[in-house]
Amino acid sequence: MTALKKKFSILVSEDHADYQFLYKMALSEIDPDIEINLVYSSEQIVEFLIKDKLQRSLNRQVLPNIIFLEVRPPFRELEDIKTIRNSPRYNKIPVVVFTDVVSDFTVTKSLEAGASEVYAKPYTYHDLKMLLQGIISKTPARRLTKSLFCCRCEDYIEFDNEHGQFAHQIHLSTNEIGFIKAKFQGPLCIPCLNQLKTSYRIINGDFTVTSQTLHKK
């Protein structure tokens, strides 16, 4: 599958149906081509991003350009933000927090967890639309590779190793390239390239595995 352009995609965590409707209306007025996916909790955001192979085959959604989520006491959402930030595949996605509890504590804890920005939750349609428009306008679209699916894991290839945020993160020797091409003829995503590079090193005895001996009484 190939594509020249990816729709701007937004993932929103919002548990109120009325507010979900406002998001849809505001985003459609900002740009009718924006793709919006709505879930009801930050936990569902993690589930949406980290799908198993079967789920990916049923719903091949692209990664969002922005994630919007609400943080409220007891702030369980912060752990889900940390989960996103700890994943190499998702940790570059801007996570924008809206909160009813505007305080130094909330802002500090949200930023420490990995939030990109923190805003007071807007309560009018006009304020919501203006805020969303401002955030979207300063979020650049990512460059896609021509072939969108990795032939190994069947996931979307969101980043090109020659361009963008992941540029030149993978350095392969001639032997490593030969090893990989002998097994896979199609395009490969960066996580798979990393794994195959490690496999090559293990097979050729160039990878040290540290093991801890367990002593039983």
What was the pLDDT predicted at 181? Answer: 86
- Of the candidates 158, 162, 126, 118, which has an alpha carbon nearest to the alpha carbon of residue 26? 126
Confidence band of 183 (pLDDT split at 50, 70, 90): confident
Q: Provide the pLDDT for residue 158.
A: 62
Task: Report the length, in residues, of the chain.
Answer: 217
> What angle do helix axes 77-85 and 104-113 make, rounded to 10 degrees?
30
pLDDT (0 to 100) of residue 153? 72
Worst-scoring range by mean pLDDT, 55-59, 111-115, 167-171?
A: 55-59
pLDDT more than 70, % of the chain: 75
> In whole angstroms, what is the distance from residue 134 CA to residue 113 CA?
23
Residues 6 or more apart from 7 whose CB is under 8 A from it?
Answer: 33, 34, 35, 62
Pairing of strands 117-120, 66-71: unpaired
Look at residue 108 in the predicted model and tell me its pLDDT: 93
Q: Per-residue pLDDT for 141 more than 70? A: no
Per-residue confidence (pLDDT) for residue 210, from 0 to 100: 41
Can you give the pLDDT at residue 22?
Answer: 94
Q: Which domains, and CATH codes, for the chain? A: 9-137 (3.40.50.2300), 144-207 (no CATH)
Does residue 135 register a pLDDT over 90? yes
pLDDT exceeds 70 at position 194: yes
Mean of the pLDDT values across residues 60-80? 84
| pLDDT at residue 5, as a whole number | 47
Average pLDDT of the residues of the chain: 79
Residue 114 contacts residue 85 (beta carbons within 8 Å): yes
